[in-house]
Amino acid sequence: MKDVPTEIPGGLTIAAICKRQDVRDALLSTSAASLAHLPAGARVGTSSLRRKSQLLYARSDLQILDLRGNVDTRIEKLKRGDYDAIVLAKAGLDRLGLSANISEVLSTDVCLPAAGQGAIGIEARAEDAESLEILSALNDGKRAAEWKPSVPSWLVWKAAARFPSARGAAWRAETLCWKLPCFLPMVHNA
């Protein structure tokens, strides 16, 4: 759900949000067991402004470099030495059977995930009652509650293109609690 546009096209709706997988980010490295053990000046690849900002907050000595390509391509770039480490979503690695490449699962205190990270959403035609009824069986109500309130905050902040943004939601008893930090863009190591 993290890559779903902030505005759903007319006539469509998010019909279901499936059970959410691990929301955390994962550090992959061929030379260090953890973020703390990366050497000063280590080259860390990510394509996410949110991750860049949080990694630099945790370790201002790192070189944060852009990382593009599908997951296999990104891991290959790490293995051939283009980066000392890369950061990817753990849920994606788990779903692709690539979790053995993980050096460290980053705490949400270090790297708060994007809204909807780890969840798969299913879009359908808003007027197709039969499809909506069938898809409702796949909906995880608590996960939908975690994602849907984040959309208005995203729209208000217009953060998609301007600011790295993260949102964390956790259930405490029957109350949904939010973390909504906003990170100012980092001008160095960009």
* Catalytic annotation present for 22: no
Per-residue pLDDT of the chain (190 residues; tens, 9 = 90+): 555 656 777 898 888 887 778 889 999 999 999 999 999 999 999 988 889 988 999 999 999 999 999 999 999 999 999 999 999 999 999 999 999 999 999 998 898 887 777 778 888 999 999 999 998 888 876 655 555 544 444 444 444 444 454 555 554 656 545 555 555 444 444 4
Sketch out the chain's domains with CATH numbers: 12-20+115-179 (no CATH), 25-105 (3.40.190.10)
What values do phi and psi take at 98, rounded to 5?
-115, 15
- What pTM did the predictor assign? 0.73
Q: Which of 1, 6, 13 is nearest to 160 (CA)?
A: 6
